[in-house]
């Protein structure tokens, strides 16, 4: 069974630009979550989607947005990039929201903002 | 507010030197506690889920245990390939509170 796939693996962007990251969950998983990981803050929750609906949102500015498609694939978008947005962005899928099912992570997209 | 604290932040062991990592948590009710392993440049890899106090899970040299306030990840006779960051996450009971809260992790280095 294929794992969670994230593309691209690396991105270098300039301040003020925008970026779109993509995530394909494990087949059969309907819940997709996004996390930001930095050395200073650890894993911070961004948002979670289930059946194309955003179910939860973390404490991030509105520049961070996402969506989920009918095939459960998900994208997240960051507009007006800032230097502080440099991080590893991780996508995780699970069978169902709130069921005690573990998250299964992709290998992330490393975003560098210059 | 749910909190998860992992200790120590970093741990250096000699190959074969057994030790334990700690994850203490405060939640109003526990739905599940998860352990992950993360290698540099990769996403966290799921290891175990524990649901209730007294539960134990094992996988190769790793054994996870759970009490009402903390979980331990015991590493028996570690090898250099066990070097990684180990993350603990807690999922609480209750509507709208099921997003797992992650600890900051323990960075483990095992020297040959």
pLDDT at B95 over 70: no
Residues of A with CB under 8 A from a CB of B: 4, 6, 33, 42-43, 45, 48, 56, 58, 90, 92, 97-98, 100, 102-108, 110
The 10s digit of each residue's pLDDT in B28-58 is: 888 899 999 999 999 999 999 999 999 999 9
Residue range A72-95: mean pLDDT, rounded? 96
pLDDT at A95 over 90: no
Estimate to the nearest angstrom the gap between the alpha carbon of A68 and the chain centroid: 11
Question: How big is chain B, counted in residues?
Answer: 112
Alpha-carbon gap: A15 to the closest alpha carbon of chain B (Å): 23
pLDDT at A98 over 80: no
Question: How big is chain A, counted in residues?
Answer: 114
pLDDT at B69 over 70: yes
Rounded distance, CA B86 to CA A94, Å? 20
Instruction: Specify the pLDDT at position A22.
Output: 98
Which residue out of A92, A102, A106 would a mutagenesis test of the B interface target, given it has the greatest number of B Cβ atoms within 10 Å? A102
Q: How large a percentage of chain B has pLDDT more than 70?
A: 96
Q: Edge-to-edge strands of the sheet including B3-7?
A: B3-7, B19-26, B70-75, B62-66, B56-59
Cβ contact, residue pair A33, B99, below 8 Å: yes
Whole-number average pLDDT of chain A: 94
Residue range A2-24: mean pLDDT, rounded? 97
Alpha-carbon gap: A28 to the closest alpha carbon of chain B (Å): 17
Within 8 A of B32 by CB-CB distance, chain A residues are 100, 102
The number of beta carbons lying within 10 Å of the beta carbon of residue A31 is 23
Within 8 A of A98 by CB-CB distance, chain B residues are 31, 91, 98
Residue of B nearest to A47 (CA): B99
Instruction: Specify the pLDDT at position A96.
Output: 74
Instruction: Specify the pLDDT at position B96.
Output: 62
Strand partners, A89: A36, A109
Cβ contact, residue pair B89, A103, below 8 Å: yes
Alpha-carbon gap: A8 to the closest alpha carbon of chain B (Å): 13
Instruction: Specify the pLDDT at position B90.
Output: 93
Rounded distance, CA A106 to CA B57, Å? 24
Estimate to the nearest angstrom the gap between the alpha carbon of B91 and the chain centroid: 13
Residue range A10-19: mean pLDDT, rounded? 98
């Amino acid at each position: 069974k294929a794992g969670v796939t994230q593309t691209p693996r690396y991105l270098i962007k300039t301040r003020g630009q925008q970026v779109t990251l993509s995530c394909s969950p494990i087949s059969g998983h309907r819940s997709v979550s996004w996390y930001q990981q930095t050395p200073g803050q650890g894993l911070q929750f961004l948002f979670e989607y289930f059946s194309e609906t955003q179910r939860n949102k973390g404490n991030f500015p509105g520049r961070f947005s996402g969506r989920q498609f009918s095939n459960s694939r998900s994208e997240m978008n960051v507009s007006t990039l800032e230097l502080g947005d440099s991080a590893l962005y991780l996508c995780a899928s699970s069978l169902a929201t709130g069921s005690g099912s573990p998250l299964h992570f992709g290998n992330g997209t490393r975003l560098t903002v210059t | 507010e749910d909190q998860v604290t992992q200790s120590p932040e970093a741990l250096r062991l000699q190959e074969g030197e057994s030790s334990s990592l700690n994850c203490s948590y405060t939640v109003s009710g526990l739905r599940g506690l998860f352990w992950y392993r993360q290698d540099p440049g990769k996403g966290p890899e799921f290891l175990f889920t524990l649901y209730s106090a007294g539960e134990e899970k094992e996988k190769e040299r790793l054994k996870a245990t759970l009490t009402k306030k903390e979980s331990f990840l015991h590493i028996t006779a570690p090898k250099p390939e066990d070097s990684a960051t180990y993350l603990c996450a807690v999922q609480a009971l209750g509507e709208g509170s099921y997003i797992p809260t992650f600890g900051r992790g323990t960075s483990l280095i095992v020297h040959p």
